[in-house]
Amino acid sequence: MKYNWLFIFFTAVSILFLASCNGKKTGEAEWVQLFNGTDLSGWTPKITGYDSGDNFGNTFRVEDGMIKVRYDGGYDSFDNRFGHLFYKDPFSHYRLRVEYRFVGDQCPGAPGWAYRNSGIMIHGQTPESMERGQDFPTSIEVQLLGSDSTVERTNMNVCTPGTNIVMDGELILDHCINSSTGYFYGEDWYTAEVEVRGNEVIKHIINGDTVLQYTQPQLDERDGTYSKLVGLNGGDKMLSRGTISLQSEGHPIDFRKVEIMVLEE
């Protein structure tokens, strides 16, 4: 049987070309779900005044395929019981994508500034390294903020509990910096994304728009956690990796998707 080797050769080249255009490239990063939609496997709660792993009042729960933050399980008053739900693994270079919405009314006794306020904590300490009465993990906070007729503020701001950042070559000592977003109203679902490149650059992205960017996240020498955490970080105050956690700050919130794409360093 005779073969037209020239025809076979060009057919093979065409197939490889189409595969490279339409298929996933070898080694291409993928989105990986951190929340399995069923339970809190892989996640650890830490609530102010309680030990790591104690999910007081069933604050963090899974219902209807979502992580829900609620205060109907023992909170007569919020009483500064700030909570954080930590994923088990630390990360350094990645994109994190979270779909969220605020719902309902704020927990009685929660601070006014925490109205429609939650956050994604990145480059954070571990829940086990937190003090029992510590309010917030030393970390970088990507703020999730909602607006209504009583309050209007930008979304995806940055706050720095126990840390500092650099913007435009200047060390920022202010606790919070506003983003460039408009206002986000109602109980709609929004997609918050963070691109983290170790100690190099961090970008805040909401619904596909980059609204804030900064560099060189680092431990704050003025903070009470500094001595312990700089030791755990090998003596280096610069932060290149850390935990990811979702916040409970007094207003009910739902998270229906939490996914990560690990990037090459």
Q: Strand, helix or coil at 37?
A: coil
125 and 243 Cβ atoms separated by less than 8 Å: yes
Walk me through the domains of the chain, giving residue ranges and CATH numbers. Answer: 27-262 (2.60.120.560)
Residue 225: both structure tokens together? 């956690």
pLDDT at 112: 95
Query: What are the mean pLDDT values of the chain's consecutive 10-residue runs (265 residues total)?
Result: 46 44 60 98 98 98 98 95 98 98 97 97 98 98 95 97 97 96 95 98 96 98 97 97 98 98 95
180, 184, 190, 194: CA torsion to nearest 10: 20
Cβ neighbors of 92 (< 8 A, separation 6 or more) are: 196, 198, 240, 241, 265
Q: Do 166 and 215 form a contact (C-beta atoms < 8 A)?
A: yes
- Residue 27, pLDDT score: 60
**Sequence-distant (≥ 6) Cβ neighbours of residue 18 within 8 angstroms:** none
* pLDDT for res 29: 84
pLDDT of residue 4: 52
Q: What is the per-residue burial (b if ≥16 Cβ within 10 Å, else e) of 225-240?
A: bbeebbeebeeeeebb
